[in-house]
Structure 1
Amino acid sequence: MTALEHIARTNVLFLNWRDPAHPQAGGAEAYCYEIARRLTGSDARVTLFAARFPGSRASESADGVRILRRGGTFGVYLAAAAHLLRNRHTYDAVVDFQNGIPFFSPLFTPRWTANICVIHHIHQQQFDLFFRWPMNTVGRLLEKQISRLTYHGRAVVVVSPSTRQGVRAELGFHNPIYLVPNGSPRPHTSPVARAGTPTITVLSRMTPHKRVDLLLKALPELRRAWPQLRVELAGDGSELPRLRALAADLGVDSAVTFHGHVSEDKKRELLGRAWLTVVPSVAEGWGLTVIEANTMGTPALAFDVPGLRDAVRHGHNGWLVAGDVPLSRAIATALTELRDASARDRTARRCRAWSASFSWDDSAERLAQVVLEETRRVHRHVRSRRRVSDLAVLTRFEARDGDAVERALNTVLRETDRWSRRGDSFSLLLHGCDEVRAFQALRRLGVREAVLRLAHRREELVRPEVSDAGAPEPLPAPTGPRPGARARRDPA
């Protein structure tokens, strides 16, 4: 059975700044809601608590998720605290999404409630873009020192290896960290004809840290080499009026179309027609727009910054740009590579293959594993014996008695470890340990010969295994570990 099946009837509260209906909803809201509705599909009881916005209902239900809206942009934090205090015995687990500032849920829940903090990306440098002193300093203090104290020892979920690195290096967290990447939209069978002339599509919230202005400033030079170049900008936000004015001042407004907020169908059309999507953001947790574009066969060009360097594989599904390289030069190079229709077709196939490596179903299963593991841990009133580590080990071995090994896996591995079986061949991905501790775990399983090595960042994202030739290949749908097993020991 999967972790999703085992958390049936578990009462889970999701705390997120906004819900998907919010006018300023973005990738963080998509992540929260796509996972929440899959948990309800497995009969978990999920409540999403978010800020109320003009014209919204205080309470409603969508896809089985109960949505509660209280407070405003900042009042939602006090409202959430009051809700937790009034419902101290209601929720088995609280998934607290830290969008710069978390909800500090451990302060308002009893010790038998599992509190999980989800972090998309680090905001330490971005507070200056939105606030002046002293509020920018207060924001940094809340995200770093206060959060570190409040969530001490509790599970942290990140969406990318870059965010995990930031949580360690910038925030100084020593918590166990689990990687739960974003999913990917389902591929669409109805084809969208690629534009016959160079076209760039950008889907983004128009806010300062997205730096869409850099693309507009690159257009005058690009248009001299590519006079037919078109730019389609989709998205709303506070920067939109300034961007319209900037395009007019640069004399490129005739080449730019501002679509504002668009429907999902329009989004797919714009991405499907584009030769390229450009993501000039200062940093991201992951880069969901990259994967959305890849689903439509469109490559992405982005700066080599946290999050985006995980979503973009340079030369495969797009290009990464060093910070000192002019954006106009990088775009010109990409457009030159995409000049031929055959080159665009080859790139499109690579993009679709990469986006297919991710799914919201797998993301929901991974988060459910963390919820299950943390719920059982707090009920046992013990901490994991495994040392906090960000390493992961891939191993493959053959077993003479595969059924016996499978039974042993159910008691040795944690819910968040991954394994699959093909006949008597087993593949394992063990997170939070090095080769030595993984070897010790294999010895406890009775395995004497195995191929094992450290997993790299991409393999942690797409759940690879080690093939006979040593090259990574996708794991099939996991058959374990069985979360229902009672006896548990950490492999290290």
Structure 2
Amino acid sequence: MSRPSVLFVNWRDTAHPEGGGSERYTERIAEGLVARGYRVTIQCAAHSRAPADEWVRGVRFRRRGGRFTVYLRAAVAVLRLRPDVVVDVQAGLPFFSRLVARRPVLVLVHHVHREQWPAVVGPVLGRIGWWLESRLAPRLYRGCRYVTVSEQTRRELAGLGVPTSRTTVVRNGLDAPPPVRATRDPDPTLVVVGRVVPHKRVEHAVDVVARLARRWPKLRLEVVGDGWWLDTLAEHVRRLDLADRVTLHGYVAERDKHEILARSWVHLCPSVKEGWGIAITEAAAHGVPSVAYRAAGGVVESIVDGRTGLLADDVEDLTRQVDRLLASAELRASLGEAGRTRAATFTWEHGVDAFERVLAVEWGS
């Protein structure tokens, strides 16, 4: 039996200036499916860093539309390409593919965005966005099967009316880290990896440095990632007079990112919400423990609290937990080694296996 054609409709791709971990997930799953004989297309927004049409590792990319018109162009693609299965990747807003698809629609949700909406678009538009995500989308996609990356998101989707019986957890894999030359820095070094946007709350990591500066005179923070909030973050650093302690790297090459991770002591993930937090497992692969907020969704699964990293309740607790790790080389080492061992169990091969099983149910139905 021939494999079905699969169309992912997604807001961005990894080449996009605002691309991140969720886009990497989509592309790794797509590449794995291609390797197994599926015909896979990713329809996403156009941008200046890549051509409108491109084949990458066997995956066809069609880049059309901008921040908002990408939704209309995706609907047109569903109608024109007539895939056997549509994967509607919902990063807050649905693509409304259910209205035009004549074939099964699979919904991929990394996390729900209740807390992110007001942080990104303000209180008024935030309420509209949350209504679309929490009220309209579950009704529109009633009967569709969902995929998500953590049990936490699965439970949150259930709270929006998506039965757990229709939701399958397919966890993130981990790209094998490249060989690095860096060794652990002799001075205490914190790192944040990810897009610099409001809901990632990188300012909290800067605040931790400010609070611990007197106790740790050589403490530094390295921020790896780009985003439209970078200038605002830089102003926050200047306002706290921390320019000599905080390095804003912006975008860096993949190998450079791993060099920075390898020399760091502690990784911080102060985000409002994460479906999983792929940077957490990337840091763990280098033996670097992470500290994140307990209320931030999937991080309660990517971090095993007290065994591979630590969870915090607020910025004061975040500061305490970071201080605790900085003060104990033994604790950092034990959490780091446990994290390294656990990170090795997350492979894209396992993820593709699980995703393919979901496709088989949809294609066979």
Q: Which bracket does the TM-score occupy, shorter chain normalised? A: over 0.9
Matched, 1:96 2:88: yes
**Residue aligning to 2:126:** 136
Contact 1:185 1:295 in 2 (8 A): no
**Residue aligning to 1:197:** 187
Identity of aligned residues (%): 36
Contact 2:325 2:332 in 1 (8 A): no
Give 1:178 shift.
0.3
Contact 2:209 2:220 in 1 (8 A): no
Deviations 1:285-304 (A, max 9, x none): 11111001001111101110
Task: Name the stretch that deviates more: 195-204 or 51-60.
Answer: 51-60
**Residue aligning to 2:76:** 82
- Opposite residue 234 of structure 1, the aligned amino acid is V
- Opposite residue 300 of structure 2, the aligned amino acid is R
**Residue aligning to 2:252:** 262
Deviations 1:238-259 (A, max 9, x none): 2211111111111111011111
Q: Residues 82 and 188 of structure 1: is their aligned pair in 2 closer, same or farther, counting only changes over 3 Å?
A: closer
Contact 2:91 2:110 in 1 (8 A): yes
**Residue aligning to 2:29:** 35
Q: State how 1:424-435 maps to structure 2 within 5 Å.
A: none
Which of 43, 46, 71 is equivalent to 1:49?
43
- Please identify which structure carries the higher helix content: 2
**Residue aligning to 1:292:** 282
Whole-angstrom distance in 1 between the partners of 2:85 and 2:197: 33
Give 1:64 shift.
0.3
Matched, 1:59 2:66: no
Contact 1:12 1:93 in 2 (8 A): yes
Give 1:187 shift.
4.4
Deviations 1:128-151 (A, max 9, x none): 112246432321222122111111
Give 1:325 shift.
4.0
- Opposite residue 26 of structure 1, the aligned amino acid is G
* Count, aligned residues: 363
Which of 109, 129, 145 is equivalent to 2:101?
109
TM-score, length of structure 1 as denominator length = 0.71
Contact 2:223 2:247 in 1 (8 A): yes
Work out which of the two has the higher radius of gyration on C-alpha atoms and give 1 or 2: 1
Q: Residues 324 and 300 of structure 1: is their aligned pair in 2 closer, same or farther, counting only changes over 3 Å?
A: closer
Matched, 1:160 2:160: no
Whole-angstrom distance in 2 between the partners of 1:155 and 1:202: 34
**Residue aligning to 2:320:** 329
SS in 1 for 2:213: helix
Contact 2:177 2:282 in 1 (8 A): no
**Residue aligning to 1:241:** 231
TM-score, length of structure 2 as denominator length = 0.95
- Opposite residue 54 of structure 2, the aligned amino acid is E
Which of 344, 355, 362 is equivalent to 1:374?
362
Give 1:365 shift.
1.1
- Opposite residue 113 of structure 2, the aligned amino acid is H
Segments of structure 1 that go 5 or more residues without pairing to the other structure are 1-5, 378-492
Which of 7, 10, 15 is equivalent to 1:16?
10
Contact 2:154 2:167 in 1 (8 A): yes
Give 1:191 shift.
5.6
Deviations 1:345-377 (A, max 9, x none): 433321111101211111111111101111111
Matched, 1:307 2:301: no
**Residue aligning to 1:225:** 215
Contact 1:319 1:334 in 2 (8 A): no
Whole-angstrom distance in 1 between the partners of 2:35 and 2:22: 20
Whole-angstrom distance in 2 between the partners of 1:227 and 1:324: 20
- Opposite residue 311 of structure 1, the aligned amino acid is S
**Residue aligning to 1:365:** 353
Whole-angstrom distance in 2 between the partners of 1:84 and 1:374: 17
Task: Name the stretch that deviates more: 64-73 or 235-244.
Answer: 235-244
CA root-mean-square deviation: 1.6
- Opposite residue 162 of structure 2, the aligned amino acid is F
Matched, 1:278 2:268: yes
